[in-house]
Copies of this chain bind each other. A is one copy, B any other.
Amino acid sequence: MDVELLNDDRPAVSTVVTDERRPRKRGRKPANGREEPLNHVEAERQRREKLNQRFYALRAVVPNISKMDKASLLGDAISYITELQKKLKEMESEKDVQQNSPDVDVQMGNNEVIVHVSTPLETHPVSTVINVFKETQVDVVDSKFSASNNTVFHTFVVKTQSGSEQMTMGFFFSPLLTMACERKF
């Protein structure tokens, strides 16, 4: 009975409020009018499942998920990524500072070669010790350096100012042990 082509009244549904242009085509029903391919619906089902699976996996790697909402999850993931990127960039720049540091100069003589290495104090392992020397205003008489297999030794000889008061020096240097282990640089 209904052989007419009035199936174009469907857009009338959505064009209630200034919907939009719709460059549709005519009579596009799959011949049967009934019964979609059933493949399509299944394929779409799988696509949805895969997507949700990824959402679930994303929740696993992003900490501090504020809400279970999908959009919020994506937002959290985005801010988390940018946060990681920022943190990593900072660390790499710090590394670069440490790597650009050593400045090497070689002087060759007849029987010997003299190698000068200068680096910024900040990133040097003994910086904390040196800084304590400066802060306490003690005189460094001598400083030695030696390297064994895989360890570097620095030895500093410090002169007690005006006749040595061991208690005072102990007061100065006891913080050294703890400072050297705690201080961040």
A157 touches B51 (CB 8 A): no
Contact of A71 among B20, B47, B114, B149 (CB under 8 A): B47
A166 touches B108 (CB 8 A): yes
CB within 8 Å of B: which of A123-154?
123-130, 138, 141, 143-147, 149-154
Per the bound structure, the CA–CA distance linking A122 and B114 in Å amounts to 22
Q: Is there a chain B Cβ closer than 8 Å to A64's Cβ?
A: no
Return A49 CB to nearest CB of chain B, in Å: 10
B108 touches A117 (CB 8 A): no
Collect the chain B residues with CB atoms within 8 Å of residue A6's CB.
Answer: 20
B33 touches A16 (CB 8 A): no
Q: Is there a chain B Cβ closer than 8 Å to A65's Cβ?
A: no
What residue in chain B is nearest A53 (Cβ atoms)?
B71
Instruction: Provide 26 A-B residue pairs closer than 8 Å at the C-beta atoms, listed in order of the A residue.
Output: A10-B16, A13-B34, A16-B35, A51-B70, A51-B71, A55-B74, A57-B74, A58-B74, A61-B78, A61-B85, A62-B81, A80-B81, A81-B84, A88-B88, A110-B160, A114-B155, A115-B155, A115-B176, A117-B129, A117-B154, A118-B153, A119-B126, A122-B150, A127-B152, A143-B144, A145-B154
